[in-house]
């Protein structure tokens, strides 16, 4: 093979590699607070649920822990028609928990960027409207996003440019969502073996949380861990500990 052709091939591969890397990787994706302090972020996906989130908040209350709830549009839109949903979401705000965007329909969005942009914007508007009804004005830049199934793929960079949310929140995901099938001991073990300063932990709005969550919080607090979230102007706001990073 001629040397010039070889160089061309190498260059093409390299350029393709750099392109795919740059379009895949986004500095918006975060999985922790960059900090030396013993702090964690506890997050619950898939709500709101009038019963399950209410129970979860009762437990969080016992330990004075503030969390973040990443919720879907299909569930959040019931805020205006279902008094139970209104009550549970209003309590999240009143108690100092944070509301996050978990898409509208909780689908897989590969190659469906236009739909994803629309859904994320719709849920941003729902969340802003709910805060507004609670007398709080919040901007899109202060609403965290978590992708359903923690999906990240090439082309997501386009979506991230189109919506105004700076933080797309990943974190450690075990199998708490399988509840009994995973069991308390294994759920706790999964989280305990993935702890590090600033780590964001993914959990779910499930009835089974009441089985593992109290012991989890009890243990972590006895080890000196604190908990942060996205609620500004509070002593549990993550910025009191550091910036978000991957």
Q: Residue 205 CB, nearest distance to Zn ion (Å)? A: 9
Interior CA angle at 246 toward 144 and 97, to 5°?
30
Asked whether position 171 contacts Zn ion by CB under 5 A, the answer is no
Q: Residue 103 CB, nearest distance to Zn ion (Å)? A: 8
Q: Where do we find the tokens 């969390």?
A: 67
Residue placing its CB nearer to Zn ion in the complex, 43 or 229 = 43
Residue placing its CB nearer to Zn ion in the complex, 144 or 148 = 148
CA distance 216 to 95: 20
C-beta of residue 26 within 8 angstroms of C-beta of residue 168: yes
- Considering CB under 5 A, how many residues would be counted as binding Zn ion? 3
Stretch binding Zn ion (CB under 5 A), from 57-65, 147-155, 163-171, 205-213:
147-155
Q: Please, which residues have CB within 8 angstroms of residue 56's CB and are 6 or more apart in sequence?
A: 44, 67, 205, 209, 210, 213
Q: Binding marks (x or -) toward Zn ion, 80..119, rule CB under 5 A?
A: ----------------------------------------
Q: Binding Zn ion by CB under 5 A: which of 31, 42, 45, 163?
A: 45
Token pair of 3, please?
A: 């040397």
Stretch binding Zn ion (CB under 5 A), from 3-11, 34-42, 141-149, 218-226:
141-149
CA distance 96 to 64: 10
CA distance 127 to 21: 33
Token pair of 102, please?
A: 């978990």
Q: Binding Zn ion by CB under 5 A: which of 144, 148, 171, 174?
A: 148
Interface residue list for Zn ion (CB under 5 A)? 45-46, 148
């Amino acid at each position: 093979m001629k040397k010039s052709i070889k160089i061309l091939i190498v260059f093409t591969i390299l350029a393709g590699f750099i392109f795919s890397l740059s379009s895949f990787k986004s500095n918006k994706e975060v999985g922790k607070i960059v900090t030396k302090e013993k702090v964690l972020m506890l997050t619950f996906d898939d709500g709101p649920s009038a019963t399950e989130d209410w129970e979860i908040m009762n437990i969080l209350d016992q330990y004075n822990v503030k969390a973040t709830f990443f919720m879907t549009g299909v569930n959040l839109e019931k805020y205006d028609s279902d008094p139970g949903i209104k009550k549970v979401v209003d309590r999240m705000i009143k108690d100092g928990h944070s509301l996050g965007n978990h898409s509208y329909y909780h689908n897989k969005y590969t190659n469906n960027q236009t739909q994803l942009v629309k859904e994320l914007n719709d849920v941003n508007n729902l969340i802003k409207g709910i805060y507004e009804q609670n007398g709080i004005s919040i901007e899109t830049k202060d609403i965290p996003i978590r992708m359903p199934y923690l999906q990240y793929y090439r082309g997501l960079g386009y979506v991230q440019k189109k919506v105004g949310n700076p933080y797309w929140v990943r974190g450690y995901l075990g199998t708490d969502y399988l509840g009994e099938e995973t069991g308390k001991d294994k759920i706790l073990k999964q989280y305990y073996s993935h702890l590090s300063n600033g780590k964001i932990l993914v959990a779910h709005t499930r009835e089974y949380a009441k089985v593992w969550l109290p012991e989890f919080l009890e243990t972590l607090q006895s080890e000196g861990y604190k908990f942060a979230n996205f609620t500004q102007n509070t002593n549990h706001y993550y910025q009191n500990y550091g910036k978000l990073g991957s």
